[in-house]
Amino acid sequence: MIKEHALNLVMVGYCTDLEDLKAYDTEQYDIALVIDGNHVDMKTVSKDTGVLPDKLLQLW
């Protein structure tokens, strides 16, 4: 996860599994980058983790 501070990016967490997103308070970060070799449906990730869809960005 990354929190933006006037273009100063700070990594506030790292997850090896999408389920690990549940461990982070969504107020701690602005966006979670989902870097996965497989196409993952962000609506499903949002539903499964409780993270709002606009806080998820898939990079693959």
Please check whether residue 39 is in contact with residue 46, taking contact to mean a CB–CB distance below 8 angstroms. no
What is the token pair recorded at 24?
């982070």
Annotate 27-58 with b (16+ C-beta within 10 A) or e (fewer): eebbebebeeeeeeeeeebbeebebeeeebee
Q: What is the pTM of this model?
A: 0.77
Split at pLDDT 50, 70, 90, the class of 2 is low
Domain ranges in the chain are 2-59
Q: What is the pLDDT of residue 13?
A: 92
Each residue's pLDDT tens digit, 10-57: 889 999 988 999 999 999 999 999 987 777 888 999 999 999 999 999
